[in-house]
Copies of this chain bind each other. A is one copy, B any other.
Amino acid sequence: MDISARVQQIAADALAASRLLSRCTAGEKNAALMRMAEELLHSRDRILAGNQRDVAAAREKGLSAAMIDRLTLQDATLEAMARGLREVAALPDPVGRVTSMWRRPNGLLVGRMRIPLGVIGIIYESRPNVTVDASALCLKSGNAVILRGGSEAIHSNLAIASVLQEVLKKSSLPDHAIQVIPFTDREAVSVLLTLDEQIDLIIPRGGEELIRAVVSQSKIPVIKHYKGVCHIFVDASADMDMAVNICVNAKAQRPGVCNALETLLVHADIAGDFLPKAAEALEQKGVRLRGCGITRKILKNIDAATEEDWYAEYLDLILAVRVVASMDEAVAHIEKYGSLHTESILTKDYANAQRFLNEVNSSTVLVNASTRFSDGFELGLGAEIGISTTKLHAYGPMGLEELTTSKFIIYGDGQVRT
């Protein structure tokens, strides 16, 4: 069987599975998730053996130490995966929930019921834990999933998936609810992205290059974010200590993630006091600053920021700094250079806090808190399948509910239209 035919078969099996899965109860799904957690730990040797093949191949190819580190599974990783499965089992099931219901003048009772999206394709890079996390979230939300991981993790992913699939076979859930594309060829992805009759949604997880390649090819809706150019605006009235603390946390606590701070905007009235204190604290954490002209009059020894810096997602201990004359200027900067991801205002001024929350239409907008809270777990969604910076369907961190849609259900007693 050639690759194209095999991928089409996988998608057809997923569609059939999704219809059965949409009717399974939360009890059935949770039992399977709990069993998967157990079996992952019992199958330690098999999974680690698959992983060692991937790690050996990565070494042979000369991949970087960081890449190999992300690829390598250990007992602690397996335990974290099992814990993740149990946590998803404990979350409320969004499927079947009637979110509202109203009576029409003709007596019709109209409601909206949440239902699964159907079939979801996940296209991701190296970390094998995505195989478990994405499977758990899709299963719990009643969606069949087709997983396509990076070629460097293929044996790890197949080993993990085989454990999950064995649990499905012994359960009341459909066997094809979780499938992995067993080919590393690019053709497999190209075929997958054309199957809009079977697949409802594609979620790419990885670098901007991967995501752009998926978007440009896909006939299926894609939920994604290209990058997170997150801003903090330190208003004239900001509490100085709080502002320093939040900026350091947002930039340096974990610089390689999408909700880390990339550009700091500082009100001119506070810049002279604030910037030296912030720079000292940031430099202690190893952060290098790049500033606008005014910033460089206050902080003499930093590099100049170029136009490109305002667009940059460094994912590194580098921070662009700009002094602005007003909140309007800060909002205009965010509109021009931002990525619709996450922005925070630090202020004691009530009106400015409310205006910033109302006027900035990024997917997450905060007052007096770190941008690092833009995350499904931290916001209380219970889990996160990804973050969207496009406004259709989901905007911001996505949990289980964002993996469902809603249909209209209508109870009548003979109504016809006149």
**Is A23 engaged at the interface, CB distance under 8 Å to the other chain?**
yes
Is there contact, CB below 8 Å, between A407 and B373? no
Is there contact, CB below 8 Å, between A367 and B414? no
**Is A413 engaged at the interface, CB distance under 8 Å to the other chain?**
yes
Is there contact, CB below 8 Å, between A369 and B221? no
In the bound assembly, the distance between CA atoms of A235 and B374 in angstroms comes to: 50
The residues in A between 344 and 397 inclusive whose CB is less than 8 angstroms from any CB of B are: 353, 357-359, 361-370, 372-374, 378-380, 390-393, 395-397
Give the oligomeric copy count: 2
Cβ-closest chain B residue relative to A366:
B410
> Given the interface contacts A335-B19, A359-B23, A378-B104, does A396 sit within 8 Å of B416 by beta carbon?
no
Is there contact, CB below 8 Å, between B96 and A368? no
Interface-forming stretch among A57-65, A70-78, A168-176, A238-246? Answer: A238-246
Report the minimal beta-carbon distance from A296 to chain B, rounded to whole angstroms: 27
> Given the interface contacts A369-B412, A416-B372, does A361 sit within 8 Å of B393 by beta carbon?
no
Is there contact, CB below 8 Å, between B108 and A373? yes
A370: chain B residues within 8 A (beta carbon): 415-417
Please report whether the interface of chain A is mostly helix, strand, loop or mixed according to DSSP.
Answer: mixed
- The 8 tightest CB contacts between A and B, nearest first, are A369-B412, A249-B416, A372-B417, A393-B393, A391-B405, A366-B410, A364-B408, A368-B412
In the bound assembly, the distance between CA atoms of A23 and B245 in angstroms comes to: 32
**Is A201 engaged at the interface, CB distance under 8 Å to the other chain?**
yes
A249: chain B residues within 8 A (beta carbon): 416-417
Interface-forming stretch among A110-118, A128-136, A149-157, A273-281? Answer: A110-118
Is there contact, CB below 8 Å, between A365 and B407? yes
A335: chain B residues within 8 A (beta carbon): 19
Contact check: which of B253, B357, B395 meets A405 at CB < 8 Å? Answer: B395
Is there contact, CB below 8 Å, between A115 and B361? yes
Is there contact, CB below 8 Å, between A364 and B201? no
A361: chain B residues within 8 A (beta carbon): 19, 22, 115-116, 118, 407
